């Protein structure tokens, strides 16, 4: 009888083996249950390695009304199709860091900012967001830089990281 709870371990790639050896050297031997593993744990999503910089750029562009955490919350509800079905705006508002009585209104304002900046497209039903399409963040950032909305240093740091991880070629 097959045990579905046990992950089949394949031989790690050379870079993975190197990182595992480093982890063991620094942190010692760890039980598998102590670490999150995308192959065996549910709730995993793929995120671009440039996402922290994207969030920071969004926050810089939405001064005083940061929308980066809202963008991150959308990514965390995303599947590979890049569409988010907003079943509960209040929950997304909490995930985005808004806790006051005006949390949904505040979240909706941040969503409008993300739309205006070109990071998302949205479909509303009445006055509430129902579906959100997450657009390619590199395209949005390139367009904003071309419009001189992003500082050169910030863009250069973003661009360097994007090349470093292979997101730009």
Residue 168, CA atoms < 13 Å, CB-side half-sphere: 16
Structure tokens at 93: 């508002």
CA 47, CA 117: separation in Å to the nearest integer? 20
Note the maximum CA span of the chain: 62
Is the pLDDT reported for residue 20 higher than 50? yes
Q: Assign domain 51-164 one CATH number from 3.90.930, 1.10.3470, 1.10.10, 3.90.105.
A: 1.10.10
pTM of the model: 0.85
Q: Give the whole-angstrom CA distance, residue 122 versus residue 147.
A: 22
Q: Where are the alpha helices (DSSP H) in 14-136?
A: 14-27, 51-61, 68-76, 89-95, 103-117
- Is residue 9 very low, low, confident or very high in pLDDT (cuts 50, 70, 90)? low
Name the residue ranges covered by the structural domains of the chain. 51-164
Residue pLDDT, tens place only, 45-101 = 888 999 999 999 999 999 999 999 999 999 999 988 999 999 999 999 999 999 999
Angle, helices 51-61 vs 103-117, to 10°: value is 100
Measured distance CA(160)–CA(166) in Å, rounded: 10
Instruction: Examine the pLDDT at 111 and tell me if it is beyond 90.
Output: yes
pLDDT confidence of residue 53 = 98
> Cα-Cα-Cα-Cα dihedral of 132, 98, 155, 77, to 10°?
-40
Residue-wise pLDDT for 26-35, tens only, equals 888 887 778 8
């Amino acid at each position: 009888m097959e045990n579905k709870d046990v992950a089949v371990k394949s031989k790690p790639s050379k870079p993975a083996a190197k990182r595992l050896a480093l982890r063991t050297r620094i942190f010692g031997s760890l039980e598998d249950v102590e670490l999150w593993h995308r192959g065996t744990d549910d709730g995993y999503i793929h995120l671009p390695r440039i996402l922290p910089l994207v969030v920071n750029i969004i926050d810089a562009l939405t001064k005083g009304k940061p929308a980066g955490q809202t963008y991150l919350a959308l990514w965390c509800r995303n599947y590979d199709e890049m569409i988010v079905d907003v079943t509960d705006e209040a929950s997304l508002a909490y995930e985005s860091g808004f806790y006051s009585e005006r949390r949904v209104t505040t979240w909706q304002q941040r969503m409008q900012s993300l739309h205006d900046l070109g990071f998302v497209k949205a479909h509303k039903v009445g006055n509430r967001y129902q579906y959100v399409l997450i657009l390619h963040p590199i395209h949005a950032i390139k367009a904003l830089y071309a419009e001189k909305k992003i500082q050169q240093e910030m863009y250069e740091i973003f661009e360097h990281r994007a090349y470093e991880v292979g997101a730009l070629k």
